[in-house]
Amino acid sequence: MRNKKIGIVVSVTIIITAFLTFLATTAFYAFLLNGKSSVGLQSGAKILQTVSALQKHYYYGIDEEELVDSTLKTMLSSLGDPYTAYMNADEYKTFAELITGTYAGIGTVVLWDDELKAVTVVNPFENSPAEKAGLVKGDKIIEIDGEDFANIDFESAVSKMKGERGTNVILTVLKADSGEKVTIEVTRDEIQIPSVASKLRGNIGHITISMFDMHTGEEFSQHLNDMLNQGAKGIILDLRDNGGGLVESVTSVSNQLLKKDEMIFYTENKAGKKVVHKSTGNGVDLPIAVLINENTASASELLAGALRDNKATPLIGKKSFGKGVVQMTYPLSDGSVIKLTVEKYFTPNGNDINNNGLKPDYEVGLSSNKDEQYQMAEEVIKNLMS
């Protein structure tokens, strides 16, 4: 028994020592990177002193892994940027599954309500667990399995809604129609996510892109060619409720709509370095109109901005969400990652999307039983076709 206790103590000591080394290294890098030795070393020293006190004196003991995770989450959330976050290995695995277009979860597009600290339901997929459980557009998820989002970030909240097929998740929801707080139990299932849909209406091709995942470029090509083969003379591109996704996918779609060397967007980092992204495709000569709304965000805003700046494509609907920042993931040693905002996006004409959004050329709302936005887009595209 004594040897077992010694082994446990040694293991804990090794873990604590590794953590202290990590913190000391962090302080050292702070010193090297910004040259502010007093700031870097003083911050590192405070953390070291706190952990040392916990190790020596804290009555209840500490869970080292949980301590590191919570420290990193708090550190990044304190920056006030909802898109910069820490994800442990399990959270990152779930997050990575989403961009493949297939995952196990409740099946809905969501956005983050930073003021309310809630997940907003944007578009439950047809026949998904979310739809079957009664979730509708505009519902606000404020708790998952009894945990609120006061100390959690958007990515972690989304990852908690995913999980193994057949398992249940309890959501506390503020209903969009009544504001009533209700509890909804949803059984997760395998979610297949088609990101593009289309329908020919007369000689107008209506193409909807719901998100930009790994397959969106290929899907869009199939739908665009199908519309052209059926005789479409104009395209209404519907980006409403599209929360964004992979930049590579929006570039792929842009290549099919813009001519070679037309700028899609450019990025700028904290040092002012500018990187321009241009189309490598042949584009299309058909007139295009784009539908946007308050949930059109990120990659979908880049596409809408690129079309308007290059082709004078009219935007119809409501002002877009306004997410124009770039995130990169940086892996840590245990499979966890930190996701940091590293650049800003700009449209070809230099418009800063972030927190500004894109203002439509034709601002149109929606009533309860009509799609006035589509009706306006149809009127606009017919004028462009004539």
Quick: pLDDT tens for 267-312.
Answer: 999 999 999 999 999 999 999 999 999 999 999 999 999 999 999 9
Contact 103, 131 (CB under 8 A): no
In terms of pTM, does the model score above 0.75? Answer: no
Percent of all residues in the chain with a pLDDT value above 90, rounded to a whole number:
60
Contact 299, 245 (CB under 8 A): yes
Whether 42 is a known active-site residue: answer: no
Contact 162, 183 (CB under 8 A): no
Contact 219, 196 (CB under 8 A): yes
- Per-residue pLDDT of 1-60, as tens digits, reads 434 333 333 333 333 334 433 443 344 344 434 445 455 567 667 877 888 898 899 999
Whether the CA torsion 249, 253, 255, 256 is positive or negative: it is positive
Catalytic residue among 156, 210, 254, 298: 298
Query: What is the C-alpha separation between 290 and 369, in angstroms, rounded?
Result: 21
Q: What is the pLDDT of residue 109?
A: 83
Domain boundaries in the chain?
Answer: 2-62, 101-192, 196-385
Query: What is the C-alpha separation between 245 and 212, in angstroms, rounded?
Result: 4
The CATH architecture annotation of domain 196-385 reads Alpha-Beta Complex (3.90)
Residue with tokens 């990652």: 337
CATH 2.30.42.10 given to domain 101-192: yes
Q: What is the pLDDT of residue 284?
A: 95
Lowest mean pLDDT among 109-113, 248-252, 380-384: 109-113
Average pLDDT of the chain?
86
Pairing of strands 108-113, 102-105: unpaired
Beta bridge partners, 108, equal: 124
Q: What is the pLDDT of residue 161?
A: 87
Contact 187, 166 (CB under 8 A): yes
Lowest mean pLDDT among 84-98, 179-193, 326-340: 84-98
Percent of all residues in the chain with a pLDDT value above 70, rounded to a whole number:
87
Lowest mean pLDDT among 6-10, 152-156, 259-263, 359-363: 6-10
Q: Which of 137, 115, 116 is nearest to 125 (CA)?
A: 137
Overall average pLDDT of the 72-85 stretch: 91
Q: What is the pLDDT of residue 219?
A: 95
Lowest mean pLDDT among 97-111, 139-153, 197-211, 329-343: 97-111
Residue 81 has pLDDT above 70, yes or no: yes
- Residue 221 pLDDT level (bands cut at 50, 70, 90): very high
Catalytic residue among 137, 327, 344, 382: 327
Tell me the residue length of the chain: 386
- Per-residue pLDDT of 83-115, as tens digits, reads 999 998 888 876 776 666 667 889 888 888 888
- Per-residue pLDDT of 137-185, as tens digits, reads 999 999 999 988 887 778 788 888 888 899 999 999 999 999 999 999 9
Overall average pLDDT of the 60-72 stretch: 87
Measured in degrees and rounded to the nearest 5, phi and psi for residue 329 equal: -100, 140
Q: What is the pLDDT of residue 372?
A: 96
Q: Print burial letters for 220-241: b (CB count within 10 Å at least 16), e (below 16).
A: beebbeebeeeebbbbbbbbbb
Structure tokens at 303: 């596409």
CA 289 to centroid of chain Cα atoms? 25
Overall average pLDDT of the 341-350 stretch: 96
Whether 298 is a known active-site residue: answer: yes
Overall average pLDDT of the 53-79 stretch: 88
Selected residue with higher pLDDT from 46 and 376: 376
Q: What is the pLDDT of residue 355?
A: 95
Q: Which of 346, 338, 227, 245 is nearest to 286 (CA)?
A: 227
Residue 241 has pLDDT above 80, yes or no: yes
Q: What is the pLDDT of residue 155?
A: 77
Catalytic residue among 73, 160, 318, 323: 323
Fold match between domain 101-192 and domain 196-385: no
Overall average pLDDT of the 331-349 stretch: 94
